[in-house]
Amino acid sequence: MSSAAPDPLAAPVVELANLVHEYPGAVATRVLSGISLTVRAGEFVAVVGSSGSGKTTLLNLIGLLDQPTSGTLRLAGCDVSRLAERERARFRRDYLGFIFQFHYLLPEFTVLENALMPCRIRGEAAEDEARPRIRQLLEQVGLGDRLGYRPGQLSGGQQQRVAIVRALANDPALVLADEPTGNLDSHNGRAVFDLMRELNRTTGKAFLMVTHDELFAARADRIIRLVDGQIQAGAEASALPDI
């Protein structure tokens, strides 16, 4: 059954205009050149391209882990291109969730505690307020009977499910996923992708996913193809219907 198309009039959660990123040196190395892109609430967007095309650099800039050399980056309507680190950290906390290729769970904490970690950083009140919602999400991803387990007691796919729930802990506007299935076998990779797609629909959160897997990319709402640090002409297109 095909999913409903995202609302083209939904508010933008990310707006990039002529974004450029260079690594300094005797001769500056340009990694991204004039990237313009909008991601709207509820969209699931895949970014694809060969190694060295700039995919992870783009994700790092949107995730406020690095600053652009020039151009404009807006998150939730605010220009964050030149914010000081303290304000960048606040935006990362309040507006963004991250899923990486490796789960980076803390081995001494339980499943529930790991999923709540972003809320714990905000304080005890935030953690207590989020606990019922995080429990519900863990149940939704099939981990309701594993809340007291440690990461070492879970499979790789189960650990990545915890990481996905953790990315949603602070109720972000946008989830950034960098090769989230890259460390999993094909079965668990499909299960994790299906889970992200389900959460995208049920929570209304926008997802921006970097992937080498063309089959997963084809199930996104849109595909952004990077070539040598630029969006390939004609390559920003709607993907196949997700069934």
Q: What is the pLDDT of residues 77-97, one digit of tens each?
A: 888 887 888 888 888 888 899
Count how many domains the chain has.
1
Question: Comparing 67 with 24, which gets the higher pLDDT?
Answer: 67
pLDDT-based confidence at 242, cuts 50/70/90? low
Q: Is residue 104 one of the residues assigned to a domain?
A: yes
Give residue 2's pLDDT.
Answer: 41
Helical residues (DSSP H) of 34-171, grouped into ranges:
55-62, 85-95, 111-115, 117-122, 124-140, 156-167
Instruction: Judge whether 108 lies within some domain.
Output: yes
For residue 110, give its domain range. 42-64+85-225
Higher pLDDT, 188 or 224: 224
Q: Residue 235: its pLDDT value, please?
A: 46
Write the pLDDT tens digit of every residue in 114-125. 999 988 888 888
Greater confidence (173 vs 242) lies with: 173
Mean pLDDT calculated for residue range 1-12: 58
Question: What percentage of the chain carries pLDDT values higher than 90?
Answer: 37
Judge whether 6 and 42 are in contact, CB under 8 Å: yes
Residue 3 lies in a domain: no
Question: At residue 66, what are phi and psi to the nearest 5 degrees?
Answer: -150, 165
102 belongs to a structural domain? yes
98: in domain: yes
**For range 180-184, the mean pLDDT:** 82
pLDDT-based confidence at residue 186 (cuts at 50, 70, 90): confident
Which domain CATH number covers 177? 3.40.50.300
- Across the chain, mean pLDDT equals 85
Residue 150 clears pLDDT 80, i.e. is over it: yes
Instruction: Compute the distance between CA of residue 187 and CA of residue 194 in angstroms, rounded to an integer.
Output: 11
Confidence of residue 240 (pLDDT cuts 50, 70, 90): very low
**Does residue 60 lie in a domain region?**
yes
Question: Is residue 35 one of the residues assigned to a domain?
Answer: no
What confidence score (pLDDT) does residue 9 get?
56
Handedness of CA 139, 145, 148, 149 (dihedral sign): negative
Cα separation of the two ends of the chain = 5
Predicted TM-score (pTM) of this structure:
0.85
Question: Does the pLDDT value for residue 7 go beyond 70?
Answer: no
Q: Does residue 146 belong to any structural domain of this protein? A: yes
